[in-house]
Structure 1
Amino acid sequence: MLEFIQNNIFLTLIIINYVIAIGTAIFIILNNRNPITTVSYILALVVLPFLGLLIYYFFGQEYRKDKMFKRKKVFYNETVKKWEKKLMLNDYRLENYQSDFLHNKVNVVKLLQNNQKKPLIFGNDVKILINGEKKFESLFKDLEEAKNHIHVEYYMFNDDKIGSKFIEALIKRAKDGIDVRVNYDYVASGITNKSIKRMKEAGIEIFPFMPVWFPNLTRKLNYRNHRKIVVIDGIIGYVGGVNVSDEYVNPNDTGYWRDTHSRLKGNVVKSIQSHFLLNWNFVSEQEIEITDDFFPKVEEKCGDIPVQIAASGPDSDYPHIMEAIFTAINGAEDYIRITTPYFIPNDQMLTALKTASRRGVDIEILIPKEGDSWAAKYATNSYIQELLESGIKVYHYCKGMVHAKTMVVDGLLSTIGTSNMDYRSFEINFEITAIFYDEGISKKMKEIFEEDVEHCDKVDIEDWEDRAFWEKVKESFSRLWAPLL
């Protein structure tokens, strides 16, 4: 036997690989996961010896609701429960709002209020910020005026030009006596040890989210913190698609990046704060003392806009953001406008969009023409044919990379957040989205969409059908791995 193994090393390794692969496949099947995801991983195990096992090891293991994400004590804190109870709407008030201005959008409100205990919060001010230039201009001004604390949570935090300017602003405020806490994703960020040391020496608490070995080789490693949020004094919050990296502020030496962020002021920021604190407990391995300073009393009338926060991740019981978008699509009566850099929907979302279109809802989807990922581009393109056949209009953004994650429904409901329209955002990563129930905001968001369309090519169904055969092959191949992208 030993001699056979020595003379047939490769064959022996192949046998060992498939013995392990069969056991892994059985384990995946018994987990009763999404059938498409299950088939994708089994396919990888079968057709990619050795590599398939590595793919599953790095990307496929399911830790949802596992011991890694137990820290839910933030939501049981008396301070958090007190403000949530104060702002939570009862069924009677919801029914009144339904007849007044929410109409069937009240179903989205009820979904998040019942499942995630996130109320619809009135009296907020909202500013829509186009691209990183506007976002950072506003943010630096708010940082300078902070009085108690600054909480920062980013997927991509680089110490390039804009990142260094951001770090200097945080260091200055920390030296002024402001409490500064920073949580950055270890895999996506490019912040150096030197910068981290400088921040710590200034009194900033900074922790990486789930460090891993060889981050450059595992850029899509599961369970990343994809959120981009800042909370200032528990009163001002930022949510959207803009990371801390130079490309987002469009310097002359990089391609154009089109993104959308939002600045929120009012009680809704407390919802963002609670999610920051939950992740902070996880990354810092602390049980931070939650005080009224984190959830301060807000002046009675910051603005007029009702806002609700949807957040999801491996620590949540349900994919809240996906369910909220799904519910909004199913309730649409007039139109839907979606902008997303990656359109790789699950079956539920794809069916909801196609059936909404076929019952008369005017749906337009804007995606990048090139994108920043070869596999994601072709996986996205694999869905275009069936969208067009269902009457959905698809636009390819040609000016550069569109990275905004937004939706407008019926001139009443609109969203700005971190979640892409794909498997990874819906099921795996930590994401957060602000949902606005306001005609003025929706009108502005629709106008922004129409301005972006001016820089797009509309996809024609006949031209699309005539695209090259090898393009279709690449699309079909990429779609097989859609749950892994």
Structure 2
Amino acid sequence: MRNQAVKIRIKPTVTRALVLMILIMAQLALVAFTIWTTSRVSIYLDAALSLVSLFVVLYIVKTRSDPSYKLTWSILILLMPIFGGLFYLLFGLQPSSRRRRRRMALLEATAKPYLKQDAAALASVSALRADFGRQARYLSKTAGFPVYGASDAEHLKSGEAQFERLQTELAKAERFIFLEYFIIDEGLMWNTILGILVEKAAKGVDVRVLYDGIGCLITLPPLYPAALERMGIACAVFNPASAVPSTILNNRDHRKLVIIDGSVAFTGGINLADEYINKVEKYGYWKDAAVVITGAAVDSLTIMFINMWNLQTKSSAEYQPFLNQRPTLTEGDVFVQPYADSPMDDESVGESVYMNIVNAARSYIYITTPYLIVDHTMMTAICLAAKSDIDVRIIAPRHWDKWYAHMATRSYYDELVAAGVKVYEYVDGFMHAKTFVSDDIVAVIGTTNLDYRSLFLHYECGTLLYGGRAVAGVKADFLTTLERCDPVTPGEYSPKTVAGRIFLQVLRLLSPLL
């Protein structure tokens, strides 16, 4: 059963996505038609909508959002004063649902007693370097996720490596298996994993699957949760797609998590689809990265999953039965700090972690990212590091999955190269790994891209590593990958025409919305 594909559906098409888009556009068109055909009141409606737009701009200015995000929306609304404000209220408003915010805050408060910081582990990290202590304290105090000593981590350099290791660990499961993914698609990878899940569920293992409603919109059918339930697998869809416009649709669950028995966990950039293990070629070789964590640090990832499960299902699953009650590892020279980032608060945890690494670097910073669409603060920090004689290298993809995001990424190259940053493009395929490594002692492997959606709108997670083989693995993988990259030279991707330069500037202006 384990190695056999489990097929429970006919492959869906893009029909559902197109229908959803048509319904939304039809509603907006109806509003416009009503306004412009009601001539006797159109003047008053124009004035009222323009006033709404003005108040929306004033609201945007006073929010705690990223300045670039605020500037982009303000310009768009002022250019379209009649519908701009309404468009922002429907698609750009970041606070989403106040009820959901309150619910998430309550869940985090409930979990807090299970995320206590061990003073010895924090002191050990601070002893490595003072700035590491500040980073660890920031995540523990502000984000609520402690650093652990009785843990270990291993860097996995590809989807193929994770797939092989994941099958091995799933086969050992005795109590529970939790999976949380942005994308799941039928094929060799998912069907093989599903076969193991079905087998384990039949033996009484608590198996739960949580996937994103937009990420899986065209890969899984609407009744997929019911099909999994019939197999003994509990399933929930996070923020399902809806024809009713909602700001909640902006906030996607971009995390990739597997937790097994509270003792081992996987996270990183790898979704459950065949392109991630290079069984299906979309953009050349798919280069990715993940981390497998063992020991006490798995508790943080378990709590992340339970919080998201409780948020979406409105249930109240307890934490204690799923925590690692008997860690088998003792504190060594490896310290692991998993963390979550949520759009339901005003703290940009993912960006802050990256910024702290950049600002603390003494020798080098190596970065891999599929997108490089950053705000002024991050751009300034990266450039300042290079200007301060830090060896800053960034690998982005040569082959792209979204042309507009790729063009926006390239619009940052000249400024970075001029500051002394060494920028490379991975020529063999698509670079999808999200990693930072610095000074042979600190690294991050996670789900957070260097773009506005990941940094400010999505639910993300990452693992901060201090010392150990995983940090060395991230660096070694970066240097090996560098051999398959071309360096970016000054002006190489600059537009040659006036129209091209104007278009790129407009795209750069709109980049917070990409």
TM-score, structure 2 length as denominator? 0.84
SS at match of 2:250: coil
State the 1:104 CA deviation. 2.9
Contact 1:58/1:221 (8 A) holds in 2: no
Which of 453, 474, 482 aligns to 1:445? It is 474
The one-letter amino acid paired with 2:306 is: L
CA distance in 2: counterparts of 1:474 and 1:381, whole angstroms? 13
Structure 1 residues 49-84: Cα deviation after superposition (integer angstroms, max 9, x where no partner): 777457524431122683213234444448x625x3
- Of 43-52 and 398-407, more deviation after overlay is shown by 43-52
Contact 1:75/1:81 (8 A) holds in 2: no
Contact 2:149/2:330 (8 A) holds in 1: no
Does 1:105 find its partner at 2:132?
yes
The RMSD of aligned alpha carbons is 3.0
Does 1:139 find its partner at 2:172?
no
Which of 241, 245, 249 aligns to 2:269? It is 241
State the 1:212 CA deviation. 2.6
Does 1:432 find its partner at 2:467?
no
SS at match of 2:351: helix
Give the direction of change, closer, same or farther, for the CA distance of 1:373–1:13 in structure 2 (3 Å limit). farther
Aligned match of 1:157: 184
CA distance in 1: counterparts of 2:126 and 2:444, whole angstroms? 19
State the 1:249 CA deviation. 1.4
Aligned match of 1:89: 119
TM-score, structure 1 length as denominator? 0.89
Aligned match of 1:379: 408
SS at match of 1:477: helix
SS at match of 1:426: helix
Report 1:215-364 matches (<5 A).
221-255=249-283, 256-301=285-330, 305-364=334-393
Contact 1:411/1:439 (8 A) holds in 2: no
State the 1:21 CA deviation. 3.2
**Unpaired runs of 5+ in structure 2?**
1-33
Aligned match of 2:240: 211
Contact 2:371/2:449 (8 A) holds in 1: yes
SS at match of 1:309: strand
Contact 2:361/2:439 (8 A) holds in 1: yes
**Unpaired runs of 5+ in structure 1?**
none
CA distance in 2: counterparts of 1:381 and 1:11, whole angstroms? 44
CA distance in 2: counterparts of 1:368 and 1:123, whole angstroms? 36
Contact 2:89/2:247 (8 A) holds in 1: no
CA distance in 2: counterparts of 1:373 and 1:326, whole angstroms? 26
Does 1:35 find its partner at 2:64?
no
Give the direction of change, closer, same or farther, for the CA distance of 1:287–1:94 in structure 2 (3 Å limit). closer
- Of 265-274 and 187-196, more deviation after overlay is shown by 187-196
State the 1:243 CA deviation. 0.6
Aligned match of 2:104: 71
- Of 275-284 and 65-74, more deviation after overlay is shown by 65-74
CA distance in 2: counterparts of 1:261 and 1:459, whole angstroms? 26
- Of 206-215 and 255-264, more deviation after overlay is shown by 206-215
Aligned match of 1:179: 206
- Of 148-157 and 65-74, more deviation after overlay is shown by 65-74
CA distance in 2: counterparts of 1:303 and 1:252, whole angstroms? 40
SS at match of 1:325: helix
Contact 1:223/1:429 (8 A) holds in 2: yes
State the 1:218 CA deviation. 9.9
SS at match of 1:343: coil
CA distance in 1: counterparts of 2:431 and 2:122, whole angstroms? 36
SS at match of 2:186: coil
Which of 441, 444, 448 aligns to 1:415? It is 444
Contact 1:341/1:420 (8 A) holds in 2: yes
Contact 2:155/2:471 (8 A) holds in 1: no
CA distance in 1: counterparts of 2:352 and 2:371, whole angstroms? 18
CA distance in 2: counterparts of 1:56 and 1:368, whole angstroms? 31
CA distance in 1: counterparts of 2:97 and 2:409, whole angstroms? 29
Aligned match of 1:21: 53
State the 1:250 CA deviation. 0.9
CA distance in 2: counterparts of 1:128 and 1:32, whole angstroms? 35
CA distance in 2: counterparts of 1:127 and 1:323, whole angstroms? 24
Structure 1 residues 326-366: Cα deviation after superposition (integer angstroms, max 9, x where no partner): 11111111000000011111222111111111111110011
Does 1:118 find its partner at 2:150?
no
The one-letter amino acid paired with 1:249 is: I
Aligned residues with identical type, % of pairs: 28
